Amino acid sequence: MTGLSIYQNARIVDPSRDLDAVGALVVRNGRIEAAGPEAANQGTPEGATVVNCRGLAIVPGLVDMRVFIGEPGGEYRETIASASAAAAAGGVTSLVMMPDTEPVIDDVALVEFVLRTARETARTRVFPAAAITKGLAGREMTEIGLLLDAGAVLFTDGRQTISNAAVMRNAMRYARDFGAMIAHETQDADLSADGVMNEGLFASWLGYSGIPREAELLPLERDLRLAALTGSRYHAAMISAAMSADAIRAAKDRGLDVSAGISVNHLTLNENDVGEYRTFFKLSPPLRGEDDRRAMIDALNDGTIDVIVSAHDPQDVDTKRLPFSEAASGAVGLETLMAAGLRLVHSGDVSLKRLIAAMSTGPAKLLGIEAGTLAPGASADFAVVDLDMPWVLSPDMLHSKSKNTAFDEARFSGRVVQTVVAGETVYSA
């Protein structure tokens, strides 16, 4: 909607201003004019559209830094249009698209394709990430400067881990010179090659070889050393183990410019959810034990973990309806990011303001994009949330083309009821 809109009687949660209070949100011509208790006292100008949000919360639109999309090359799994529809339904107003496509987003033409397609078809903001290495092969570095100028917001090899330390060092050095960020998922290929789930007693009971936590830690510690050597900005894309959090914490204590992300799956689920070979819970990194999950919550609360992502990874029936050891890893998550995160709030493990900071304000700051705030003058990108609405997720509710959710038939308390981008409603429950 254009013109003037006033959202009254809402709980305004804006971590960018350390705000959590009842008030109003005023939107004029696509931008925020005021948000907070002071806005509730400004009256109602003639011609304004008034929305009563009593019992609801308004938060900055979520910023998801790790979204896999099929287009180009795998449109049957997900398109930019369907992913943005899923994002809107989950309160995500900005998403970063991973370069794992066919062809790989490793040159300027592909970055421009993503941006053009998003302008034409997406309901939300879509930012392309570009590959660190050509073809995600881990050998030859891409043209970081040109890709950055074309619109790439970070550099990552997506699901792939770069094993060659010299390649990673050079990438970090070039990224530093351009002020770009390297984001990397760390999985040692040899240590994890035969594993299909977290290494431990439960994997043994199921008869599977496991993936040790060290498979994540060893390349992470190498990367942190290289970040210290080069002075590069480094983001550990997804950590899952206590020892990884310890490594990030120590690096931050040494003054390195490093950050870390985690998927909401690893904050709210553990290895026991795999149950009897349920492939929708086969993820990378694998779901860990309860001790690691609790350690991840502690790391989120103390600031070691900076961002929470959905790790949205659409897979079709042919790759998921297989024996557990043969099934592809990954789950869709854009539409359940907020709802799953609210489990942590309702359990008392995380405050609502900290959750929103990690899902919105934090990632926006890392990416350097205009998002993650309800401050006056900012673009009116926000979500209206019923924090206590009970609902059960069924696959036919999903806007994503793929239905491989780790929360199939899950019970939630809390749901996005409206999503707004630049003042325009892009989703309404």
Q: Using one digit for the tens of pLDDT, what is the confidence trace for 23-34?
A: 999 999 999 999
Picking from 113, 147, 118, the residue whose alpha carbon sits closest to that of residue 133 is: 147
Per-residue b/e over 119-145, b at no fewer than 16 CB within 10 Å?
Answer: eebbbbbbbbbbbbbeebebeebbebe
Q: Are 34 and 25 in contact (CB under 8 A)?
A: yes
pLDDT at 42: 74
Distance CA 210, CA 20 (A): 43
Q: Are 417 and 386 in contact (CB under 8 A)?
A: yes
For the cut 60, the answer to whether the pLDDT of residue 2 exceeds it is no
Picking from 398, 393, 365, 355, the residue whose alpha carbon sits closest to that of residue 88 is: 398
For the cut 80, the answer to whether the pLDDT of residue 17 exceeds it is yes
Distance CA 232, CA 175 (A): 7
Predicted confidence band of residue 44 (pLDDT cuts 50, 70, 90): confident
Q: Are 93 and 127 in contact (CB under 8 A)?
A: no
Distance CA 266, CA 418 (A): 26
Count, residues in the chain:
429
Mean residue pLDDT of the chain comes to: 96
Homologous superfamily of domain range 61-367 = Metal-dependent hydrolases (3.20.20.140)
Taking the model in full, what pTM does it have?
Answer: 0.97
- What residue has token string 């939300």? 124
- Tokens coding 332: 């869709």
No. of H helices and E strands in the chain?
14, 18
Predicted confidence band of residue 1 (pLDDT cuts 50, 70, 90): very low
Taking only the tens place, the pLDDT of each residue in 54-91 is: 999 999 999 999 999 999 999 999 999 999 999 999 99
The DSSP element (H or E) to which 412 belongs, if any, is strand 411-421
Taking only the tens place, the pLDDT of each residue in 404-417 is: 999 999 999 999 99
pLDDT at 351: 98
The DSSP 8-state label assigned to residue 359 in this structure reads I
Distance CA 349, CA 176 (A): 36
The whole-number average pLDDT for the span 308-312 is: 98
Taking only the tens place, the pLDDT of each residue in 118-164 is: 999 999 999 999 999 999 999 999 999 999 999 999 999 999 999 99
The whole-number average pLDDT for the span 179-187 is: 98
Sequence spans of domains, the chain:
61-367
For the cut 60, the answer to whether the pLDDT of residue 302 exceeds it is yes
Q: Are 133 and 162 in contact (CB under 8 A)?
A: yes
Taking only the tens place, the pLDDT of each residue in 248-296 is: 999 999 999 999 999 999 999 999 999 888 899 999 999 999 999 999 9
In percent, how much of the chain has pLDDT > 70? Answer: 100
Q: Are 100 and 136 in contact (CB under 8 A)?
A: yes
For the cut 70, the answer to whether the pLDDT of residue 186 exceeds it is yes
Cα-flanking dihedrals φ and ψ of residue 100, to 5°?
-75, 70
Taking only the tens place, the pLDDT of each residue in 331-372 is: 999 999 999 999 999 999 999 999 999 999 999 999 999 999
